[in-house]
Chains A and B, each alone.
Chain A
């Protein structure tokens, strides 16, 4: 099964009530799959006139209390940023998948990780955060749909799956466990006002600055709770590691191979794979910085996550970056070469 199809099937199994989307390579399979499978199940699937429209349909349907999802790829996600900011401001749960291609602009349809900043720092206007999950296999494309929906509902916050064109298009075996969606009460939803309650309204407007600040501080508290509770990562051979690779998604798969190659040569290399890019696994990186000599981030961009790794270790070890850009994928050997060169030249070692 393709990564994109796994995501679509998982959405159905996770009880997604509606999907609104617009075609864009390399993720159109999600819309195609759901257009085929959703109507017979009484679910809503709609090909919108643009990504701008689809994210606002998400806003409307999420505000009415339904479990909803959209997906796109980088240029389309850029178009959605206004809507995502409103969704975050109005605190609506929904799932947004970005099958990252390479930019800027039209770029190419090949895989990229250039949207890391956009995904993890907010993306649209104003102070807000998404919960960002980074799958590195087709299995995780499915698993993180379940997880993303649950976290979105738990925190009343938009969640994003930040994947890439390779994970979206590759085919691997997937198993779907028996997943029971949690029932979340949504007393705030716009379902029509009965006489028994006050009217509900979905808004991100707080015209009085005192009220806006109060609301933003409440959001900051929510994001803090996410950072305390929802950090997810995978450690590979970090126990005795002297050097740490940090990579997510496709790059993490490649780096796993680099770890094996390095170990064959007797170089003690480990890998930290952030699964949640927001909240970022700061603590484990900070701890590892106490007992390692160097960290190297590997990304398919000009160096974005490297900034978060530097902030996490706060100068305790040198943090370097290696990457390829514009749809080019690094191979395990070139990463190992880079690491070996750094080991030779680094003053800290």
Chain B
């Protein structure tokens, strides 16, 4: 994550172009050459394709893509992994992830993943879905895939809005939250309350690991990464579905600056969608995993 200070400097440069003041230290700064003297402490994951993404500035999708690919790199499972992309903002996910992927129709990712995993039970299969895709049009496929205990990972990006179609109300839109189709705020007496999918599916015996994370600060990013790593590792156990919900943001459709969205996640989103593990595997279930290592 960028520091707030750095973001503010950038904003000043962008918003005040004519009178832009370039800080002295930037004028004179020389980029150091990377040589053998330097230890590489951070780099783009190898399985993340080196292209610019179509996501809006400040959007969490690109960050979560990176975390998934870091997990795949660290586990060394690129050859064994098949991803399923949704319809929604992440519809082009296969342009960014250097793994075999299947595009799914809107809401059908879990059915597509079922088709792949049932035929190739030893491969790692994951879906990447937004809240419209998973929690509205795809509820049946999602619920039944989890109920069958499909050994897949479902990454659920919840940003409370339809991003790709530019800002309509989602099943997870907060009460009173304004969207293009709830211009006066979500009226819960008419539309009901936002669906807490993680809490809904966690009691199903087929759900093995259910957690809700976010990525609006460095600590949260590390926790999300850990959740994704574990969720991939658990697939080997063939004990059921791993479900990682990630509270995202949407600067474009929330009509906020990226920094404001990060605050909104803290102040509003996670009050209704509390963070943390909702269902953890039992110790005895993880025994085999530890033995494997």
Q: Which residues from chain A sit less than 8 Å from chain B, CB to CB?
A: 17-18, 20, 44, 46, 48-50, 52-54, 56-64, 66, 68, 82-83, 86, 90, 190-195, 199-205
Instruction: Determine whether B108 belongs to the interface, using a CB cutoff of 8 Å to chain A.
Output: yes
Total chain B interface residues with beta-carbon distance under 8 A: 32
Chain B residue contacts of A204, Cβ below 8 A: 103
Question: Smallest distance from the beta carbon of A65 to chain B beta carbons, Å?
Answer: 9
- The digit string for B78-118, where 1 denotes a CB below 8 A from any CB of A, is 11111010000001101001111111110010011111101
Question: Smallest distance from the beta carbon of A66 to chain B beta carbons, Å?
Answer: 5
A336 vs B29: C-alpha distance when bound (angstroms): 95
A48 vs B94: C-alpha distance when bound (angstroms): 27
Of the listed residues B99, B111, B120, the one surrounded by the most CB atoms of chain A closer than 10 A to its CB is B111
Chain B residue contacts of A192, Cβ below 8 A: 78-82, 99-100, 120, 123
Docked-complex contact A57 and B80, CB < 8 angstroms: no
Docked-complex contact B115 and A61, CB < 8 angstroms: yes
Instruction: Determine whether B144 belongs to the interface, using a CB cutoff of 8 Å to chain A.
Output: yes
8 pairs from A and B in contact (CB 8 Å cutoff): A53-B140, A59-B102, A61-B119, A64-B115, A83-B108, A86-B105, A193-B100, A201-B94
Instruction: Determine whether B187 belongs to the interface, using a CB cutoff of 8 Å to chain A.
Output: no
A194 vs B81: C-alpha distance when bound (angstroms): 10
With beta carbons under 8 angstroms apart, the residue of A53, A86, A191 that contacts B141 is A53
Q: Which residues from chain B sit less than 8 Å from chain A, CB to CB?
A: 78-82, 84, 91-92, 94, 97-105, 108, 111-116, 118-120, 123, 140-141, 144
Answer whether A60 and B113 are a contact pair too, CB < 8 Å, given A18-B119, A49-B141.
Answer: yes
Docked-complex contact A64 and B111, CB < 8 angstroms: no
Counting from the closest, the 8 A-B pairs by CB-CB distance are A60-B115, A56-B111, A57-B115, A60-B112, A61-B115, A203-B103, A190-B100, A56-B108
Docked-complex contact A202 and B103, CB < 8 angstroms: yes
Question: Smallest distance from the beta carbon of A188 to chain B beta carbons, Å?
Answer: 10
Chain B residue contacts of A203, Cβ below 8 A: 94, 102-103
Of the listed residues A48, A50, A58, the one surrounded by the most CB atoms of chain B closer than 10 A to its CB is A48
Docked-complex contact A66 and B119, CB < 8 angstroms: yes
